[in-house]
Amino acid sequence: MKMNLIVSNRETVAVTREQDVVPLRNRVRDYGAKIGMSILNQTKLITATSELVRNLLKYGGGGKVTIEEVKNAREAGVRLIFADSGPGIADISLAMRDGYSTGKSLGLGLPGTKRLVSEFEIESALGAGTVVTIIKWKNG
Amino acid sequence: MKKNTLGTLSARKGELLEKWTSLLVENGADDGQTEEGESEEFASLFLEALDSGDFDPQAPAFDRVKELLIGIATSRGKRGFSPRENALYLFSFKQAAFHLLSESEKDAGALFRANLHLSSVLDEMAILTFEAFLKGREEIILRQTDEINEISTPVIKIWDGVVALPIIGTLDSSRTQVVMENLLQQIVETESSIAILDISGVPAVDSLVAQHLLKTVSATRLMGAECIISGIRPEIAQTMVHLGIDLEGIITKATLASALQTAFASMQLSVTRKVKMQ
Amino acid sequence: MERIPILKMGEFLLVTIQVDLYDQLAETLETDLIHSIRKHSSRGVLIDISAVSIIDSFMGRILGNIAVMSRIMDALTVVVGMQPAVAITLVELGLPLPGVISALNVEKGMELLKAKMNTLYTDQSDEDEPDSLE
């Protein structure tokens, strides 16, 4: 996500167990509300957060989530970086295909999550963990 | 050496301003309404920044000047000045400065270097004024787009429990979001159980538009209401079949009127003609 | 331990979800609900989600599970009060919520359940048996 972004606020939250999910979602909501994001966009952002953080817990063995208030030339937004040091995803393109599923759950839910946010980037390698970065701009 | 050369400008600020003002009129970049205070403030801040010895326009020394300039450019933009005229505003300043410098600096080499530095900074500032203009325009476009989205998808309560949504124009993904928001909000407020989406005003229905329609229907169903799509023109029916678009069990009607009839039927309502009693 | 309360409303059950469901709580709800349906021979379950502002795939799965489990126990599940932002997000996320019937609010949900019950009873009027409560 190389671009000229101004970061005005930032915090990093460790996520190691289920009970960490809701407080994280509330923090993200605070960031969204602060820049005046509509309820619909906030809902999308927090839902995406929920999906990604559950992946972090379930497949990544826990990790860190960084929340940032960002600005580009046009508008403000919220950026989230989910980093774990789990086993990593073997084939990202497969994971990004709608309908892909590992285990008995709905899979990583990545394609769906991607639709909820403005920008989505994922880096992962076997044995090296996964980093997912998303940005939701104020106006979608 | 350079520093001293350009130092002349500060020393002769008054003359600089005078020359600038007359050039502005000459170049047609002034409507006589430019705040003299503005221009003077710009000149002062600019010369101050130059005196810092730093010729990099990105340096913090130029921050205040740039801020002021963007303000001036924006207000000039509102007064009807074109981006060209704003650039001329600055280039006139450059001209005035050159004029003064060539009067006082007799060393050609030093004069050349001084002019070069001045140019690099002022040209960058001119670009800023263009960008400010564009930004202003973009904001207008964004605002108008929002307004168009708002007014072009009215949700109308046409009966107790039935809302109609005449969609005019094409459905792109951002418009679909606005449509869904309005529609669902109205369904909640009117406690409706049926929503009629009339697409007779939609010029073409390709797979993308069909997808947006399907999303709208799915969202409506999740809220507990049912959708009827009306206004399907023959061409659209044909295209949909050719594209293999499956409207997944959604009731479709040719006209809003027949859709309303269907709605009534499902709500166990019927319309009868009054008979005059003799 | 925290539990979501299940209210009996005639032949139906009403579950109002007002907190974020996490794994434990969700599983407990499923179990409690199944037992309640059995205990009261309920024919319908209303799940009120008007206070739920986020439904992710996890929560979606829970709702789907409840719908299926209830069906197996011969009860119909109706989800009521979904917030518009949630509905739009679910659609975007691509969560079909299979087997889940929706209604705008509790009132309409009850009407829906009653209507469905009537159809069922009309079909089976010959084999109608009085409800038996344990």
CATH of the domain at C29: 3.30.750.24
pLDDT at residue B119 is higher than 60: yes
pTM > 0.90: no
Nearest-5° angle of CA B129, CA B132, CA B133? 90
In a domain, A1, yes or no: no
User: Total structural domains in chain C?
Assistant: 1
Structural tokens at position B127: 């670009």
Single out the residue of B254, B260, B259, B172 nearest to residue B216, CA to CA: B172
Let me know whether B95 and B213 are in one domain: no
- pLDDT one-digit tens code per residue, B176-204: 888 899 999 999 999 999 999 999 988 88
Residue C132 is which amino acid?
Answer: S
- CB < 8 Å to B142, chain A: 139
pLDDT at C19: 86
Residue that terminates a domain, selected from B98, B132, B148:
B148
Let me know whether B12 and B124 are in one domain: yes
Work out whether the CA dihedral B209, B210, B214, B220 comes out positive or negative: positive
In a domain, B144, yes or no: yes
Answer whether C104 sits within 8 Å of B215, measured CB to CB: no
In a domain, B278, yes or no: no
Answer whether A74 sits within 8 Å of B181, measured CB to CB: no
Single out the residue of A43, A19, A54 nearest to residue C53, CA to CA: A43
- CB < 8 Å to A73, chain B: 135
Let me know whether B178 and B130 are in one domain: no
Boundaries of domain holding A113: 6-137
Structural tokens at position C108: 């309409």
A139 contacts A75 by C-beta, under 8 angstroms: yes
Mean pLDDT (whole number) for B197-224: 90
Single out the residue of B133, B38, B41 nearest to residue B80, CA to CA: B133
Answer whether B219 sits within 8 Å of C104, measured CB to CB: no
Let me know whether B247 and B204 are in one domain: yes
ipTM of this predicted complex? 0.87
Structural tokens at position B62: 């130029």
**Could you tell me the strand order of the sheet in which C76-80 lies?**
C6-9, C12-16, C44-48, C76-80, C101-103
Kindly report the nearest CA distance between residue B270 and chain C, in angstroms.
20
Single out the residue of C41, C116, C50, C33 nearest to residue C84, CA to CA: C50
Answer whether C23 sits within 8 Å of A50, measured CB to CB: no
Confidence class of residue B33 from pLDDT cuts 50, 70 and 90?
low
Let me know whether B130 and B172 are in one domain: no
In a domain, C131, yes or no: no
Let me know whether B210 and B111 are in one domain: no
In a domain, A12, yes or no: yes
Q: Chain C: residue nearest A53 by CA?
A: C56
- pLDDT one-digit tens code per residue, B65-113: 888 888 888 877 777 788 888 888 888 888 888 888 888 878 888 888 8
The CATH code of the domain that includes B128 is: 1.10.490.130
Buried b (16+ CB within 10 A) or exposed e, C40-57: bebbbbbbbbbebbbbbb
User: Total structural domains in chain B?
Assistant: 2
Answer whether B222 sits within 8 Å of C91, measured CB to CB: yes
Q: Which of B173, B191, B218, B268 to mutate to test the interface with C (most CBs of C within 10 A)?
A: B218
Let me know whether B130 and B260 are in one domain: no
The CATH code of the domain that includes A31 is: 3.30.565.10
In a domain, B272, yes or no: no
Let me know whether B98 and B212 are in one domain: no
Answer whether A74 sits within 8 Å of B174, measured CB to CB: no
**pLDDT tens digits for chain A (140 residues)?**
556 789 999 999 999 998 899 899 999 999 999 999 999 999 999 999 999 999 999 888 899 999 999 999 788 999 999 999 888 887 777 777 765 554 334 456 788 899 999 999 999 888 888 999 999 999 87
- CB < 8 Å to C58, chain A: 50, 54
pLDDT at A107: 57
Kindly report the nearest CA distance between residue A58 and chain C, in angstroms.
12
Answer whether A47 sits within 8 Å of C55, measured CB to CB: yes
Boundaries of domain holding C38: 6-124
User: Total structural domains in chain A?
Assistant: 1
Nearest by CB to residue C88, choosing from B180, B191, B221, is: B180
The CATH code of the domain that includes B249 is: 3.30.750.24
In a domain, C20, yes or no: yes
In a domain, B195, yes or no: yes
- CB < 8 Å to A112, chain C: 57, 92-95
**Could you tell me the strand order of the sheet in which A129-137 lies?**
A6-15, A63-71, A76-84, A129-137, A119-125
B171 contacts B213 by C-beta, under 8 angstroms: yes
pLDDT at residue C42 is higher than 90: yes
The two most distant CA atoms of chain B are separated, in Å, by 114
In a domain, C110, yes or no: yes
pLDDT at C5: 92
Boundaries of domain holding B211: 156-266
B261 contacts B228 by C-beta, under 8 angstroms: no
Let me know whether B7 and B127 are in one domain: yes
